[in-house]
Chains A and B, each alone.
Chain A
Amino acid sequence: MDTTAQTDYNPALTGDGADKAQALVYPRIDCKDVSVFYSGKQAVFDVSLPVYDRSVTALIGPSGCGKSTFLRCLNRMNDTIDGAKVTGEIFMDGENINSPEVDPVLLRSRVGMVFQKPNPFPKSIYDNIAYGPRIHGLVEDRQELDAIVEKSLRRAGLWQEVKDRLAQPGTSLSGGQQQRLCIARAIAVRPEVILMDEPCSSLDPIATARIEELIDELRKRYCIVIVTHSMQQAARVSQRTAFFHLGHLVEMGDTDQIFTSPRERRTEDYITGRFG
């Protein structure tokens, strides 16, 4: 295992099977010189960032530093914003997902997303999960769909709480449950990558702890990128951390390293609370 090249090292793999590790040394998503412009105004500057499979990458930084904007490049959600323009290359399995030939709809079925505020559809819990598999034609019959719904809810750690009331509206759940429902909804379409945009910022500490546990659990199967305001959260859930400031990627590395011995002065100032 090549441990000298910082960017090619995946800490999540230590102790795992060597063959698997070998396959996952290369980044799942590799961003090269990504810049984002909103109506001509540049918000993200030439960010190059590898994201590894079966691990959590945290994006931290003060408000307005472009970390959410960058996150939204990874599933082309910026396409839906008028006047937004993304340049640079984002490789996923060797394909540039930022190229105009790539269908963002197809991409989004492989790159799921969970938002800052829980946004379940105002439909039943069941339909919330079943919607994605239905529109992508992932299921043949009702039984398969039932199975997907159950599996997704189980993975999101929500099954025990809602199994008896799947017909109730998703909006009737508590905030934390709603957020887990949204995670289940994202899982249901069998994505490879899950993007989380401050998934705990509207939740109380107990619900946050549950989500964090869940993220840790999901890490075993998915590639997760999480934007967070809380440095403790980044330290708790992520294996790698990238620090953004004013649209620039200042520093990235193993989470331990970023929080214990940051190389950049700005990183140190931020994580010690001197600004931000």
Chain B
Amino acid sequence: MNNPPETSLQSEKALKRLRRRRAADTRFRMYGLAALGFALFSLVFLISAIAWKASGAVTYHVVKTDIVLTPERIAPDGNASPEEITRNIEGFYTLVRDDLFAHFPNAGDSLAVRQDFSALVDRLAVLPLARRVARHPSLIGQSVTVEVPVSDDVDLFLKRSSPRSIPFRIRAGAQINPGQGGGMVLAQPDLRSVRTTLTALGEQDGVPSVFVTSKGAVARLSDLGDEAATFELLAGDVADFESTPLKGLIVTVPESRRTISDLQIAWALALRSEGIIRRVPHTSLLTRTDSTYPELAGALAALVGSLLTMLVTGMVAIPMGIFAAIFLEEFAPKNRLTQLIEVNINNLAAVPSIVFGLLGATLLLGTFGLPRSAPLVGGLVLALLILPVVIIAARAALRAVPPSIRSGALAVGASRMQAVFHHVLPLAFPGMLTGAILGMARALGETAPLLLIGMVAFVAEVPSSTTDEATALPVLIYSWASNAERAWEPMTAAVIVILLALLVIMNVIVVMLRRKFERRW
């Protein structure tokens, strides 16, 4: 018997071709997977980086204390009109500060110390309290609970984000002796870890500060010997240290190179351990308007401004785009003119957004004299910007409706109008809406055109109509991101998260609408 003849299906050549083809298939699949993987990785990286940064702004530190609204402070001239009360921020501020300062009887009462202490809470932080009292003058003379945010430096320090600080513990066993000048000496403390850390940090521009705290008392390390460590008491009483173990904190940046002083750190730590400074959810991010102080700033004005702008954009761009698309697709004759219009619509979709901003600035502000910085103008400009996108999407949706539906309607005696509005439009509607909402999502994220029409202004009032001064979320991100203070970083990220959340909501709406209304044929 001979070997079976080499069939064409199994010949060496055929198998080789097969191998090569399979290798090409695999290679192609790999390219696809690699591209997808890279895109996914970038997305996850971006989102988690923003979320990580924004997580710093989820909570913040406030001072919560009871104060008595003495009339002498609040209305020193005896004038208790709401305007005077609101203007007298200094009076409220002094009340709060003195209340807090009363916790540190040993601090001394020099002007320098008071000024140092004042930096714990910014003056403007009491403005909501002043407004509340102005609305309810009956509160004067009463005791009220106030909650004011601490200044951004203190907040960042307490969150251990800037300057960075490393916690440590001193186990029981160290003996505490009162030192000279109100200080204290720890005998035989186990401070090897502190020593190692300090050595590692080095001594550039000064020595890092080391604090120990217990209850309301805070002391700073002044000399670290082999047998004993000498501490200088900054806040509270030596007696408080009797209860060991003690908690410690190494602030890695020397005092001369940070904005928060050792004394302020001591006060903040003491107030925190007494429960006066506490960490609360940062809801003011959504309830307050812009401010020059990060701890007082919120995104409400920009959020409302963005929504008002979107309202105008949607009301202009969606009907206009859809009707233009219906006309062009269903009724317009196909001639040179409509072809020209079509080409230009496609070109408009590719025009950089800043050009639309220029158009808005010259035409809407210059020629028509509409108010600057208003959501009305912003909305109109953004409507122009997304109009081509809406038209193109709506036309694609109309084109996707099979012509047989139109013929069917016409054949039973429907007019062209009836065929379009009874049959074609309901089928094209989900697609049109998708395009419209995606266009809106693009408009929501636009910054450049809004900058040009002045919506970058500092807005401290929530806009109540489309002609009020307003700003928008992406512009707020832009202006906060260009601020120098570290505290703006998590705030900016938090606004980005809000913006992303809005975009996600819009996209979810798109998906849901499409699921609900999509009909197959």
Contacts and interface: CB of A to CB of B under 8 A. Distances in A.
Contacts of B502: none
Contacts of B423: 121
B351 interface: no
A126 to B, nearest CB: 15
Contacts of A119: 402, 404-405, 407-408
Interface stretch (B255-263, B409-417, B504-512): B409-417
Contacts of A120: 408
A109 B521 contact: no
Interface stretch (A40-48, A110-118, A258-266): A110-118
Nearest to A79: B410
Interface string A87-129: 0000000000000000001101100111101011110000000
B425 to A, nearest CB: 12
A127 B404 CA distance: 17
Given A121-B423, A171-B520, A189 B412 contact: yes
Of B333, B402, B406, B407, chain A has the most CB atoms within 10 Å of the CB of: B407
Contacts of A82: 333-334
B404 A117 contact: yes
A122 B413 contact: no
Contacts of A106: 413
A232 interface: no
A228 B423 CA distance: 28
Interface string A70-96: 000001010010100000000000000
A113 B521 CA distance: 19
Contacts of B333: 82
A188 B411 CA distance: 12
A169 B521 CA distance: 10
A185 to B, nearest CB: 6
Interface residues of A, number: 28
A131 interface: yes
A106 B416 CA distance: 12
A240 B406 CA distance: 31
A113 B519 contact: no
A187 B68 CA distance: 87
B422 interface: yes
A132 B409 CA distance: 8
Of A114, A135, A136, A182, chain B has the most CB atoms within 10 Å of the CB of: A135
A121 B521 CA distance: 8
Contacts of B416: 80
Contacts of B414: 105, 131-132, 135
Contacts of A185: 408, 412
A186 interface: yes
Nearest to A116: B404
A131 to B, nearest CB: 6
Of B406, B410, B422, chain A has the most CB atoms within 10 Å of the CB of: B410
A77 B410 contact: yes
Nearest to B411: A113
A77 B407 contact: yes
Contacts of B406: 80
Contacts of A77: 407, 410-411
B403 to A, nearest CB: 9
Contacts of A188: 412
Interface in A142-197: 169, 171, 182, 185-186, 188-189
A115 B408 contact: yes
B427 interface: yes
A108 B405 contact: no
B412 A105 contact: no
B407 to A, nearest CB: 6
A189 B409 CA distance: 12
B339 interface: no
Nearest to B416: A80
B342 to A, nearest CB: 15
B415 A109 contact: no
A120 B410 CA distance: 13
A80 B409 CA distance: 12
A128 B414 CA distance: 13
A131 B411 CA distance: 12
A132 B427 CA distance: 18
A153 to B, nearest CB: 15
A121 B413 contact: no
Contacts of B409: 121, 131
B418 interface: yes
A212 B423 CA distance: 29
B408 A132 contact: no
A203 to B, nearest CB: 15
A135 B410 contact: no
A122 B428 CA distance: 12
B402 A80 contact: no
A106 B418 CA distance: 13
26 contacts: A75-B411, A77-B410, A80-B406, A80-B407, A80-B410, A105-B414, A108-B413, A112-B412, A114-B411, A115-B404, A115-B411, A117-B404, A119-B404, A119-B405, A119-B407, A121-B405, A121-B409, A122-B427, A122-B520, A131-B412, A131-B414, A131-B422, A169-B519, A171-B520, A171-B521, A188-B412
Interface of A: 75, 77, 80, 82, 105-106, 108-109, 112-115, 117, 119-122, 131-132, 135-136, 169, 171, 182, 185-186, 188-189
